[in-house]
Structure 1
Amino acid sequence: MEKSKNLKRWIYISIITAALVIFALWLFLQEDSRQKAVLKTSDTEVVNAENGQENAAEIYVHITGAVNNPGVIKLAQGSRLIDAIEKLGGLAENADTDSVNLASVLEDEDKIHIYTKDETAETGVGSASAASGTGRVNINTASLEDLKTLPGIGDAIGKSIIDYREKNGAFRSLEDLKEVDRIGDKVFEKLKDSITL
């Protein structure tokens, strides 16, 4: 009788112990799968963030004129005009390299025309030195094409400079250029050695 009671007690204890062990294993496996789900989610977020940074670091520019394959090209932010020209197959034989600053840093939506030697000879536009006797571009008299020879200046900013001139009159100091839309301290620093009044 006593043996029977002891046997039943051991059976109950064994069943309860086994149930507790199974429950503990189930909890452990649930926690493990939850952690894997969190890791997968955070990995996805990291990949998405990296993709977002990649997209933010790309610019599109339009190069026309005396290049072998003119057109719109995608470049890394901070690329220079020479990088774009090389990706478009290089300069055409009759390109006038004096009409542009090949070292200028490009910005998204820039459109730059590379003049041929015939074009600059016929029209006199496109040459930065033609804008002033110092070899600098005169921001009060320069055409859009002359302005676009400046580092970081494309169609949009060039038009803004001309619009500002037409609305407010001639620039009285080089620093007045900072009042034009999209020209802050950083852009002005790139320009100040290439411009004059």
Structure 2
Amino acid sequence: MKDWMYEHKVYVIITVMIAFAAIFYFLEESKSSVSDVENIVPQEIKEEKDIPQVQEEIQEPEMIMVDVKGQVTMPGVYSTSQGERVIDVIHRAGGLTENADESQVNFAEHVQDAMVIYIPAKGEAVINVPAGTTVNPSNTGGGIGKEAKVNVNKADETQLQNLPGIGPSKAAAITEYRETSGPFKSIEDLKNISGIGDKTFEKLKDLITIQ
């Protein structure tokens, strides 16, 4: 055996060198692969961190109070969100009674804060009430009537001019007063407006409200 190895030592040495070279090459390739993987993973993590996180801002709807009266199952004051419609609030009030006159109600109207939703009975005469007014049901004679009061804290100039003794200049003065001094705290504050004295106020006091 020793003689054979001696005679073929050159071939043995070459074979061993080739084997070592192969092992060395394999180990280097393995290290390179591991290094590549280690480099890729942190890079992917970094890229994920670099991606801006987009968060949708969820805005809570503004809550308002609405007074529901008339021919509904559960009349009362209800808390609802800005933008809902009359039909939504009526459902919360238990729906309409059998005596309700649906033909006189705009169910698609958007509700507003401090709004009065009045559902009339069948055969009840109802006047058209513009935005910015409050409806107060009252018993009159043999039937049921309603008196529309203009909310001087919400009505615009056009609506204010529907009041007796209030023309364009006084209507403008009322809206200007609200903007500079804030809302009226009592209906008597209307006499702070230039041109509105006791006589004019007497004509207005039963037709206006601040709520």
TM-score, normalized by length of structure 2?
0.39
Higher strand share: 2
In our comparison, the structure showing a higher alpha carbon Rg is: 2
